[in-house]
Amino acid sequence: MKEELRVDPTICSGHGLCAELLPELVTLDEWGYPIVTRGAVPRSLERHVRRAVTDCPALALKLLPVS
Amino acid sequence: MTYGTTVPHSAPFPGPQQGHTTRTGPAGSGSQSPGDLPRLLPVHGAVPVDLRTHLSRDAAPPYFGHSGKLIPVLKAAGLTGRGGAAFPVHRKLQAVAEARTQPVVIGNGAEGEPASDKDKSLLWISPHLVLDGLQLAAEAVGSQAVALYVHRNARLQERLRAAVAERSAARIDVVPVEIIDAPPRFLAGEESALASRISGQPAMPRFKPPRVFERGVVGRPTLVHNVETLAHIALIARYGPAWFRAAGTPKEPGSMLCTLHQADGQRDVVETELGTPLRDLLQLDGTQAVLSGGYHGAWLPAAEAARMTLSNEHLQAAGAFVGAGVLVGLPADRCGIAETARVARYLALESAGQCGPCFNGLPRIAAALDEVASPRPDPRAVTDMIRWAGLVEGRGACHHPDGTTRFVRSALHVFRDEIANHAEGRCVDPAREPFLPLPADSALDEADWN
Amino acid sequence: MNGITQSTALWYASRATGVVSLLLLTAVVLLGVLVNRQGRLPGLPRFVVTGLHRNLSLLGVAFVAIHVLTAVLDPYVTIRIVAIVVPLTSSYKPLWLGLGAISLDLVLALILTSLARARMSRRLWRSLHWLSYAAWVSALVHSLTSSTDLHSGVLLYLAIACSLAVVAAVIWRVAHAGREIPRAERAAATLAMMSPGSVPRSRGTPRDGARGRDPENVR
């Protein structure tokens, strides 16, 4: 993919689904907020990434062009 | 606060570059010679410059008539933003000029940094240079919506409104200028917070992308320039790039305003060239450390600062940066850790509270610093602080966490001897008389961000 | 089957699927509150809570579809198709059936807006989603009044249990909303947690030497 996964921290309220659905790219810090790996999303994870983006209850995850 | 007179560079200034012609400005009007300082501030004393004096020294703003000529001139001059980020000015203008919808131009005078006085001083003393710059920038990007964003200071706002009215009556301004109120918050001057505030919401930063030059105030492409940057634009438009480059260094040309805090408590705004040695600006005898770049900047040991110049070339190599020109000399008889702890607490409370890592991490870092500033602190405080610093960096919507950790990390390094002192129950200044300036009020609720 | 037993079969099917629809809608409301409160079902990952909330709502619509179709097809009582979605157009118990139609309309709106969530403003989606409570209340009243099934026996206990559960969930939800710390106060709250008593409670007396802030104060 030519996009990377980003989290909008002003919307994120720490639900933590993203870390469950996408442990390859997301871990939670000690306060429950996601640490997202930067960089283009690997092809193999594309489906899981899209699911994480759709399933976030706060819609805080975004797929953006790699900066 | 005194207005310091200029601090000339002690070495002979380079003069016009080879291959550039020195222009004295359009048709014999305007009278600033290359290399001479002050440029932004008046030559004689801190008397506010009225419209007549402004016109007699610098003449009317040289409108370019939508020819697009201002942007290449600014590129040749190499002007970078004076709000702290030092981004090339012509690039911002170019990006907004290319926008497909009607852009907005904002002069950013919301000086949220408690240790900085230069923007409010410039607006008080030389508002017409700033207002000229606003008009020229608006012309360059084709904007009909222009505003000046300033803190809640009734007298300053009154003076600015009067200046705008006077220019309007004299038909100097092409686009009407609105004066917009900024809440007294550290982050109020952050670009996206500014865009939010002017759009009618609280002055809280937003996630990027999109950047404000793409979508800012009410979704329109927004050009945001620090008021000092606008003043420089106004002068470069008149006197040309070679004139601008006659001061400063080849890589970092021009002059800038600095707020100097001397160890004896004196606090001045001066205009100086980039590349000026720090020892020419601050009285370094009797200081232990220098803070460069304000409360998002970094501490330097005094001995190191004595070898440095006011340039990113030097300062960035030492982990600091020029920023908005705040330089503080910390006296040798103060506790650097206690000072850093006080400021860190202020920075934590100035968090907008939107991003989990920030409102969780910064208060914890501040509390840990308080611990380290006390006698015989818990040894875990430093390790915790470093872990938290690593957790917050880059994870906010704005650079508040990053700036705060830069400030704190530099303190842990520069004041490590004092930290060792505290571990043994000693402190260089047990009385803890505060030195670094902080505002008396803090934000208590959401309304304080409007 | 003859005409009468066919009719009875359809009628029973409608009543049975009606009960299941109410149970499913109750579960969806409870799960919705659980998602909002960042709670979990014991032992299960969080994405199960959101997944169930979503999938049970779709299952619920499926059951409601059968519930209304069997009711329309049942010749014993005349219910026009339009009454399924337009309230008060039924000749049989217009008000009580009308509440059912309202509930269905709201549920469909909730599902459609949630599918299009990414394309609308966050605030608009949230405001519309609050209608889920109205949908549940309409469904409950419709169930209690359209037939006497829920007035006795096991179904009565079921109705009471559903109501108590939703009331408890709403109280939990509202109590949290009342305690939620506004953004601008969050850092101060964290600081207070770290070192109690150190956060200023009132607009401070100037205890720091903030000099020279007035630009006019020049010497």
Examine the pLDDT at C196 and tell me if it is beyond 70.
no
Residue range of the domain that includes C78: 3-183
Inter-residue contact B287 to B111 (CB < 8 Å): no
In a domain, C200, yes or no: no
Q: Residue C67's pLDDT band (boundaries 50, 70, 90)?
A: very high
Query: Cβ of C209 and B359 within 8 Å?
Result: no
pLDDT at C55: 96
Average pLDDT over residues B192-217: 97
pLDDT at B42: 85
Inter-residue contact B336 to B414 (CB < 8 Å): yes
Inter-residue contact B71 to B97 (CB < 8 Å): yes
- Contact list in C for residue B5 (CB cut-off 8 A) is none
Helix (H, G, I), strand (E, B) or coil at B445: coil
CA distance C192 to C174: 25
pLDDT tens, position by position, B205-222: 999 999 999 999 999 999
CATH 1.20.1440.230 domain extents, chain B: 336-434
Pick the closest to residue B327 from B288, B286, B291 (CA basis).
Answer: B291
Q: Which of C35, C45, C118 sits opposite A57 (nearest CB)?
A: C35
Q: What is the DSSP letter of B283?
A: -
Examine the pLDDT at B143 and tell me if it is beyond 50.
yes
CA distance B341 to C208: 13
Q: Residue C197's pLDDT band (boundaries 50, 70, 90)?
A: low
Average pLDDT over residues C168-189: 94
Inter-residue contact B416 to B321 (CB < 8 Å): no
Average pLDDT over residues A14-42: 97
Average pLDDT over residues B11-39: 46
Q: Residue C91's pLDDT band (boundaries 50, 70, 90)?
A: confident
- Contact list in C for residue A11 (CB cut-off 8 A) is 122
Examine the pLDDT at B201 and tell me if it is beyond 80.
yes
CA distance B397 to B190: 11
pLDDT at B334: 95
Supply B356's token pair. Answer: 């989990």
Query: Could you tell me the pTM of the whole model?
Result: 0.89
Comparison of pLDDT for C15 and C218, the residue scoring more: C15
Largest pairwise CA distance in chain B: 70
Contacts of B106 (CB under 8 A, 6+ apart): B146, B147, B148, B149, B180, B194, B198, B217, B222, B223, B224, B225
Examine the pLDDT at B15 and tell me if it is beyond 60.
no
CA distance B161 to C160: 67
Inter-residue contact C158 to C150 (CB < 8 Å): yes
Mutation pick from B204, B214, B355 vs chain A, by most beta carbons of A within 10 Å, is B355
Largest pairwise CA distance in chain C: 106
Minimal C-alpha gap between B427 and chain C (Å)? 20
| % residues pLDDT > 70 (chain B) | 93
Supply B304's token pair. Answer: 């190191």
pLDDT at B443: 66
CA distance C62 to C54: 13
Pick the closest to residue B260 from C71, C216, C212 (CA basis).
Answer: C212
Examine the pLDDT at B166 and tell me if it is beyond 50.
yes
Q: Which of C183, C207, C212 sits opposite B353 (nearest CB)?
A: C183
pLDDT tens, position by position, B350-403: 999 999 999 999 999 999 999 999 999 999 999 999 999 999 999 999 999 999
Examine the pLDDT at B140 and tell me if it is beyond 80.
yes
Amino acid at B17: Q
CA distance C112 to A38: 33
Examine the pLDDT at B6 and tell me if it is beyond 50.
no
Inter-residue contact B274 to B256 (CB < 8 Å): yes
Examine the pLDDT at C90 and tell me if it is beyond 90.
no
CA distances C83 to B417, C12, C89, C102, C103, Å, are 82, 20, 5, 10, 12
- Contact list in C for residue B125 (CB cut-off 8 A) is 215
B149, β-bridge pairs: B108, B180
Give the residue from chain A lying closest to B359, CA to CA. A31
Supply C173's token pair. Answer: 């939800």
- Contact list in A for residue B392 (CB cut-off 8 A) is none
Contacts of A21 (CB under 8 A, 6+ apart): A48, A51, A52, A55, C47
pLDDT at B441: 72
Helices first, then strands: H and E counts in chain A: 2, 4
Say if strands B255-261 and B267-273 run parallel, antiparallel, or are unpaired: antiparallel
Examine the pLDDT at B337 and tell me if it is beyond 90.
yes
Say if strands B2-3 and B267-273 run parallel, antiparallel, or are unpaired: parallel
Beta strands in B294-387 (DSSP E): 298-301, 326-331
Helix (H, G, I), strand (E, B) or coil at B287: strand
Mutation pick from B192, B214, B359, B360 vs chain A, by most beta carbons of A within 10 Å, is B360
CA distance C21 to C62: 9
pLDDT at B25: 29
CA distances B174 to B90, B135, B167, Å, are 21, 7, 9
Minimal C-alpha gap between C50 and chain A (Å)? 7
| % residues pLDDT > 90 (chain A) | 96
pLDDT at C1: 59
Average pLDDT over residues B254-262: 96
Helix (H, G, I), strand (E, B) or coil at A62: strand
Residue in this structure with the two tokens 């009543």, named with its chain if needed: C15
- Cβ of C38 under 8 Å from any chain A Cβ? yes
Domain range annotation of chain A: 3-65
Comparison of pLDDT for C47 and C219, the residue scoring more: C47
Supply C104's token pair. Answer: 């269905």
pLDDT at B66: 73
Query: Which of B126-140, B385-399, C58-72, C90-104 comes out lowest in average pLDDT?
Result: C90-104
Contacts of C23 (CB under 8 A, 6+ apart): C158, C162
Residue in this structure with the two tokens 């492409």, named with its chain if needed: B221
Inter-residue contact C17 to C141 (CB < 8 Å): no
Supply C45's token pair. Answer: 């990952």
Examine the pLDDT at C59 and tell me if it is beyond 90.
yes
Q: Residue B2's pLDDT band (boundaries 50, 70, 90)?
A: very low
DSSP string for residues in C49-110: HHHHHHHHHHHHHHHHHHHHHHHHH-TTS---GGGGTSTT--SSSHHHHHHHHHHHHHHHHH
- Contact list in A for residue C50 (CB cut-off 8 A) is 17, 55, 57
pLDDT at B89: 97
pLDDT at C198: 55
Q: Which of C194, C199, C208 sits opposite B434 (nearest CB)?
A: C208
Comparison of pLDDT for B448 and B335, the residue scoring more: B335
Q: Residue B47's pLDDT band (boundaries 50, 70, 90)?
A: confident
Q: Residue B20's pLDDT band (boundaries 50, 70, 90)?
A: very low
**C-alpha of B117 from chain center:** 9
Domain A3-65, CATH number (from 3.20.20.450, 3.30.70.100, 3.30.70.20, 1.10.3210.10): 3.30.70.20
Average pLDDT over residues C4-25: 90
| % residues pLDDT > 90 (chain B) | 83
CATH 3.40.50.11540 fits B37-245, yes or no: yes
Say if strands B298-301 and B267-273 run parallel, antiparallel, or are unpaired: unpaired
Between positions 183 and 202 of C, the ones with CB within 8 A of B are: 183-188, 190-191, 193-195, 198-200
Q: What is the CATH number of the domain that holds C178?
A: 1.20.120
- Cβ of A46 under 8 Å from any chain B Cβ? no
Average pLDDT over residues B137-156: 95
Examine the pLDDT at B19 and tell me if it is beyond 50.
no
B256-331: CATH topology: Ubiquitin-like (UB roll) (3.10.20)
Comparison of pLDDT for C206 and B111, the residue scoring more: B111
Query: Cβ of C185 and B124 within 8 Å?
Result: no
Domain count for chain C:
1
B336-434: CATH topology: de novo design (two linked rop proteins) (1.20.1440)
Helices first, then strands: H and E counts in chain C: 7, 0
Q: Give the ipTM of the model, two decimals please.
A: 0.96
Q: Which of B207, B360, B396 sits opposite A31 (nearest CB)?
A: B360
Q: Which of B1, B440, B448 sits opposite C217 (nearest CB)?
A: B1
Average pLDDT over residues B24-43: 68
Examine the pLDDT at C207 and tell me if it is beyond 80.
no
Q: What integer best gives the mean pLDDT of chain B?
A: 90
Query: Cβ of C208 and B437 within 8 Å?
Result: yes
In a domain, C194, yes or no: no
Average pLDDT over residues C73-90: 85
